[in-house]
Amino acid sequence: MKPAPFDHARPANLADAIALLDAQAGARVLAGGQSLGPMLNLRLAQPSLLVQVNHLSELAGAAADAETVTIGASVTHASIADGLVPDIGGGVLARVAENIAYRAVRNRGTIGGSLCHADPAADWVTVLSALDAAVLLQGAAGSRSIPAHDFIQGAFRTALLPGEMVVAVRVPRLSADAHWAYEKACRKPGDFAHAMSAVLLDGTRRRAVIGALGGRPLLLEDDAVTNDGAIRALRDVSALDQVHRHMQLAVFRRALAKAQA
Ligand SMILES: Cc1cc2nc3c(=O)[nH]c(=O)nc-3n(C[C@H](O)[C@H](O)[C@H](O)COP(=O)(O)OP(=O)(O)OC[C@H]3O[C@@H](n4cnc5c(N)ncnc54)[C@H](O)[C@@H]3O)c2cc1C
């Protein structure tokens, strides 16, 4: 199948991109096209206008201060895997990025596009929630910032308002004695995961996120970051069958054990 007809715009700057999105209800952002491309071909998405954004300097690059690293929405998985983004500690971001899909996908796919697509099995959806990252948004009405965990509202559903864009992701740095683990189960390397868990033990900050659940990732905090906490939380996810529940628990246990080692 081929896409339904659409117009294409390549705005000169972020303000023009936002004005285009604001002016046309059927307009949609095009970043790396790795998820939107197939959706267009299958006619699951039929925008009237595609607003190309991955050339915009306002969405490129990364900046670091003492507490955070801010990554532009159009930074590709490949740039992060190649260490072109400042490290938050322990090479965490690079290790996650290098295990996303295949090099060809990583060369074009962006961190912002991944979050906005909100596939429950996407790596950044789970990892940025566990790292307590903030998503920076901009629209015609102004800018705002929300926690990554609140940004993802369900399978392929986000907190983006009409005409709004993700401009960056701000990730807190890990302390020197932080312990971190990220584990996933895939049928073969490069495939989307069937089960995934990220665990962060950083001083008094304890967070774990179980992803690839078919909906919003599950967030465990503080005393709930235990095997029993995960069992209790997964009991509430009614959509899981026995095999999937078992796989999720096995992956969570592996991640927790690694973080505690
Ligand atoms: C074969 C294959 C395997 C893959 N495997 C994995 C995997 O293992 N793990 C994984 O995490 N991902 C995987 N992906 C997805 C990949 O990571 C994509 O890069 C990502 O999902 C979308 O990023 P993109 O830049 O291509 O966004 P696009 O496809 O351009 O856009 C995706 C959606 O986000 C919106 N959007 C994009 N940028 C913005 C923005 N700045 N503001 C507002 N809306 C925006 C678009 O309108 C669209 O709705 C895979 C993809 C393919 C094709």
Closest C-alpha to ligand 1, atom 51: 34
Helix (H) or strand (E) holding 107: helix 103-108
- pLDDT for 133 equals 98
Q: Please report the pLDDT score of residue 204 as a whole number.
A: 83
Name the closest-CA residue to atom 50, ligand 1. Answer: 101
Arithmetic mean of pLDDT, 148-166 = 97
pLDDT above 90 for 238: no
Cα-to-centroid distance, 37 and ligand 1 (Å): 9
Q: Is the CB of 35 under 6 A from ligand 1?
A: yes
Protein residue with least CA distance to atom 43, ligand 1: 165
Look at residue 81 in the predicted model and tell me its pLDDT.
Answer: 98
Query: What was the pLDDT predicted at 18?
Result: 97
Residue 129 in tokens:
């929630």
Average pLDDT over residues 66-91: 97
List, edge to edge, every strand of the sheet that includes 68-72: 62-64, 68-72, 165-172, 134-139, 142-147
Residue 1: is its pLDDT beyond 80? no
Distance 32 CA to ligand 1 centre (A): 7
List pLDDT tens digits, range 41-78: 999 999 999 999 999 999 999 999 999 999 999 999 99
Report the candidate in 114, 164, 174 with the shortest Cα–Cα distance to residue 141.
Answer: 164
Over range 122-150, report the average pLDDT: 97
Q: Mutate which of 110, 115, 129, 156 to test ligand 1's pocket (most atoms within 8 Å of Cβ)?
A: 110
The answer, yes or no, to whether any atom of ligand 1 lies below 6 A from the CB of 165, is yes
Q: pTM value?
A: 0.96
| pLDDT, averaged across the chain | 96
Joined together, the tokens standing for residue 258 give 């690694």
Residue 175 to residue 89: CA distance in whole angstroms: 7
What is the rounded distance in angstroms from the CA atom of residue 196 to the CA atom of residue 175? 23
Mutate to test the pocket of ligand 1, among 117, 125, 144 (most ligand atoms within 8 A of CB): 117
The end-to-end CA distance of the chain, in Å, is 50
In angstroms, the Cα distances linking 208 to 60, 220, 255 are 29, 5, 9
For residues 250-256, average pLDDT = 98
Q: Which residues of 3-33 are buried (b: 16+ CB within 10 A; e: fewer)?
A: beebeebebeebeebbebbeebeebbbbbbb
Tell me the three state secondary structure of residue 56: coil
* Nearest ligand 1 atom to alpha carbon 99: 8
Closest Cα to atom 10 of ligand 1: 122
**Cα dist. 31→35, 95, 97, 167, 189 in Å?**
9, 22, 17, 12, 24
